[in-house]
Structure 1
């Protein structure tokens, strides 16, 4: 069912239409709003406006008509995946850097889920995220556990909720440390200044990250990070918060950084109790070549 937003601009200074809508409508991204404007779905004083940078003046009335989205459904695609472990209940994969985990409006295909559905049978009613119990960002590489049935999904999700599983990451971050270990306990929520970002905010969701300094180089450090909670962009935001953003991070890091294909963050180790056998299982994979090559350069 389509919906609409009725707004009024009441500031004395002029403002860009797309910027104003981005501030006012939390449910939509700026790129979505810009597309609605170009497609004639935004009216200012009852007249369609096609320019995203159109200027608003005090008293302007804006109507945003949100068109109905076509339903997204994950379909099998013949995409190679790196299977680390598999049985009738669980699948552990090493996701490459640059691959999105599941379909969404901006990337309906070529995701890890599309590849998994081609590889094996997933018995799950969720048509967009079948088998997915946790995620890692597009440009983060490493291990993910996939549930192949409801028994496995409930068990793995419960372990995540109880924080009884193991998730350890490697990251190259900016700067050096005086301490060898640390704990970041800072609540996370959507940034008030940029809706694409998460931030440490008062009243946000509880988030805890532990870190250990493994090596230090000139202006950079290699860390092992252990997640106690699993919030969106948790490691990336927490490291920025303490003044050591992840190198190469296009969203939370500085522009002058190590050259790569996104943030130097890798989900190296994953551990959980098998949902059927109750056996503790633990897996570990090395970071991708660009990560290892960069480490070699920093060491020399």
Structure 2
């Protein structure tokens, strides 16, 4: 393991991956880009993209793990496959599974499982995220689509960008929402005090829009259906906290740091098939643990 620090002076305007490649020629550009995306390379203490343009007086800190190969390896991990053909595969992801390898999670990810099952995946996102078009959090359950080739990947990515891929979630939140429907339009950026958290902020943020509909009300909780118009990191979790209705069991944004992870499930996914152009909709039932919590809440209502 090697730690490096650089202070930028005359390199203003240069991409960070190009700058570091000059300093450390033993590291390929693709590997440096993966390290940047992992958060192993920071600028002024903050995570940036690999295409970040450096400014004068920026301070770069890097934890370069030369002894750890940055590639995903196939692993024989069972998958709950909802649909599969030669272009796409749709998985019902369980709680606790990380989507792709990153710092601290090199193995046992969805990508490792997909590489074993599919053999071939699109290469647009590099060796650590082959086939991955969109993501859901480690402890969020439910539907995620992956691309088996670059053509399918470009099609699905364009649908995401054009907001024509519909992603629907069920979330159990604290408190009783007054309105049956609503839209949360609040920009999200990284929390300056904790880089592992996101927050609603006007600084270094991106627009974020979440639509919600109340499905069921309880004495102290509400089951809501959420539709993402944008796809920011932790978007539903951050937005529900922002309106003072955080997700139940959310360890980062909830009232308590309960074990088990947030009550959030990607229940439906709709997109146009990259080859046939058929509109495809997939649904995944609530996991047993989520359903059990709802049953307990319903039982309390009858007391």
Q: TM-score, normalised by structure 2?
A: 0.78
Name stretches of at least 5 consecutive residues in structure 2 with no aligned partner: 8-41, 49-59
Aligned length: 250
C-alpha separation in 2, matches of 1:67 and 1:260: 32
Trace 1:74-153 onto structure 2 (pairs within 5 A): 74-125=72-123, 126-153=126-153
Aligned pair in 2 of structure 1 residues 64, 211: CA closer, same or farther (>3 Å)?
closer
1:65-103 Cα shifts (integer Å, max 9, x gaps): 744443311111000000000000000000001000000
C-alpha separation in 2, matches of 1:25 and 1:3: 14
Aligned pair in 2 of structure 1 residues 23, 117: CA closer, same or farther (>3 Å)?
closer
Q: Is the 1:200–1:237 contact (alpha carbons within 8 Å) kept by the matching residues of 2?
A: yes
Counterpart of 1:78 in 2: which secondary structure? Answer: coil
1:279 maps to 278
1:240 maps to 241
Counterpart of 2:266 in 1: which secondary structure? Answer: strand
- Which entry has the higher C-alpha Rg, 1 or 2? 1
Counterpart of 2:282 in 1: which secondary structure? Answer: strand
Counterpart of 2:135 in 1: which secondary structure? Answer: coil
Matched, 1:26 2:24: no
Shift of 1:194: 1.4
1:227 maps to 228
Shift of 1:3: 5.9
Trace 1:50-61 onto structure 2 (pairs within 5 A): none
Matched, 1:200 2:200: yes
Q: TM-score, normalised by structure 1?
A: 0.79
Name stretches of at least 5 consecutive residues in structure 1 with no aligned partner: 8-21, 29-62
Shift of 1:287: 1.4
1:190 maps to 190
C-alpha separation in 2, matches of 1:246 and 1:176: 12
1:291 maps to 290
Aligned pair in 2 of structure 1 residues 206, 280: CA closer, same or farther (>3 Å)?
same
C-alpha separation in 1, matches of 2:108 and 2:145: 19
2:18 maps to none
Shift of 1:136: 0.2
Shift of 1:200: 0.5
Aligned pair in 2 of structure 1 residues 116, 242: CA closer, same or farther (>3 Å)?
same
Shift of 1:134: 0.2
